[in-house]
Amino acid sequence: MGEVRAEFSAVEVYATEGQRIAVGIDLAARQASAPKKVTRGKVWLTATPVTQAGSAQVKFANVEVRGKTDTFGGTMLVRVAQQFSFSDTIADALAQNFAGDLDELEGKIGRALAEKRHGALLIRTKIDRFETGTITAYGQGLYMPVRATGRANLRYLPRR
């Protein structure tokens, strides 16, 4: 087919049956050699998000690609994307590591709770452990539970 120029827009993300997530993308593609002939369509990718408890690494398994376009060439592209090896490539490209985001979140929570005054009480807290659960497809995205455990020190210090 040669060089293909593609534009992706209107991305939609939903949780689906079986703890899967669906990502829909509007596609407009054209061959570089035929700039006026544009193929348009909608491509849907579904996959199962996978994590291990305590890990911020999110991977995707059981990737499936479906789509409908307005030309035979576009339909062929969707069929190529449905091939097993291409699905593995998509799954690898979607993998994310949220460790940096979780470290940033832990720091913000720690600073926010470090020391607070509530009337005559001075409350000091320290997070001892911060951990993640397993990811679940939920609503319009993914949900990863986070649990923090720690200590609090309360002092009665009336203002003078």
Domains of the chain are 4-97 (3.10.450), 99-156 (no CATH)
Q: Is the pLDDT of residue 139 over 90?
A: no
Nearest to 91, CA basis, from 64, 63, 52: 63
Measured at the CA of 113, the angle between CA 144 and CA 109, to 5 degrees, comes to 30
| pTM for the whole structure | 0.67
Please give the Cα distance from 98 to 86 (Å, whole number).
Answer: 24
Could you tell me which residues are beta bridge partners of residue 38? 30
Find all residues with CB under 8 Å of 54, minimum gap 6, and list them. 131, 132
Each residue of 109-130: pLDDT tens digit?
Answer: 889 889 999 899 999 999 999 8
